[in-house]
Amino acid sequence: MYKDINNQVNIAVVKEHLSSYMARVEAGEHIIICRRNQPVAELVPASDVPHKNCTRLGSAKGSVKIMCDLTEPVMVETGWEMLT
């Protein structure tokens, strides 16, 4: 997964040279940040990050047709005995 050693950087180095690593990321590179030589995070361009599905509240208004009375019981009262 992390085969390119040139893109792996320890966190202390990133702290010292953050602006240069940010420039590399802006140019399209992916930078693997390591702690004690173990990968813990990845800096990637924002365009590569998938966005969550942010559906606007009320955007489906009018697209559903309710075919029954939602306040009516689903089954007849005599069938309730089997639930106990």
pLDDT in tens, the chain (84 residues): 444 567 899 999 999 999 999 999 999 999 999 999 999 999 999 888 777 777 778 888 888 888 888 888 777 777 677 776
Residue type, 68: C
pTM exceeds 0.75:
no
The beta strands (E) that lie in 1-84 are given as: 8-10, 31-35, 38-43
Whole-angstrom distance, CA of residue 74 vs CA of residue 76 = 7
* pLDDT reported for residue 5: 62
Q: In this structure, which CATH number among 3.40.50.300, 3.40.50.970, 3.40.1620.10, 3.40.120.10 belongs to the domain 1-46?
A: 3.40.1620.10
Residues 6+ apart with CB under 8 A from 36: 10
Instruction: Indicate the SS3 state at residue 47.
Output: helix
- The ranges assigned to domains in the chain are 1-46
The reported pLDDT for the residue numbered 23 is: 95
